[in-house]
Amino acid sequence: MVKFANILFGLGFVISSYYLVKELFGKKYAIISGLIMCTQWVFYYWSLRVTIGVPSAFLLTLSAYFFLKGEKDSKMNLASGGLLGLAFTVRFTAGIGGIVYLAYNIITKRFKVKDYYWVLGILIGVAPLMINDLITYGNPLQSPLSFLDFNLKSSGGSQAGDQVYYIFT
């Protein structure tokens, strides 16, 4: 059942990638992107194993799609943040998406409150993890902080370099 669910997340990732690329570059490139996503070895390798990478990728691409749609509809903006928050609870490195969204808003000079509803969405999406960490450890940020601490102290990140290397990669 878990592998089947993972395959469904993988198919969701392919479909959400198609719609994201269609939104950014058009239908022709979206079709090419979808075909590449379906036929590359990485998709086959990870979709048939129990992993957090595939659900995280699905949530991230869906979040990015809703973020782009959120320029016109603030509800989509809120949904984008919620999905990004869920992606963060699945894989903490997804938090980089929030930095990307913030940079995009600043570069495109979007300074209205409704343009930042995604931040509220992130808090809603991360709330279950934060509540669990608060009850269990007394610190709502225990899980991501312990993850970061472990990776900084272990190999320096990807078995190469020091702590700065890990943070930058």
Position 65, amino acid? Y
Which tens digit of pLDDT belongs to each residue from 125-140? 999 999 999 999 999 9
Which tens digit of pLDDT belongs to each residue from 158-169? 555 566 665 666
pTM above 0.85, yes or no: no
Which tens digit of pLDDT belongs to each residue from 141-153? 999 999 887 776 6
Q: Determine the average pLDDT of the residues in 89-103.
A: 93
Q: What is the CA radius of gyration of the chain?
A: 17
Query: Terminus-to-terminus CA distance in the chain, angstroms?
Result: 34
Q: Which long-range contacts (CB under 8 A, 24 or more apart) does 76-79 make?
A: 77/114, 77/115, 77/116, 77/117, 77/118, 77/121, 78/117, 78/118, 78/120, 78/121, 78/124, 79/121
Which tens digit of pLDDT belongs to each residue from 52-91? 888 898 999 999 999 999 888 889 999 999 999 999 999 9
Residue 100, SS3 per DSSP: helix
Res 43 pLDDT > 70:
no
CA–CA gap between residue 1 and residue 58 (Å, rounded): 18
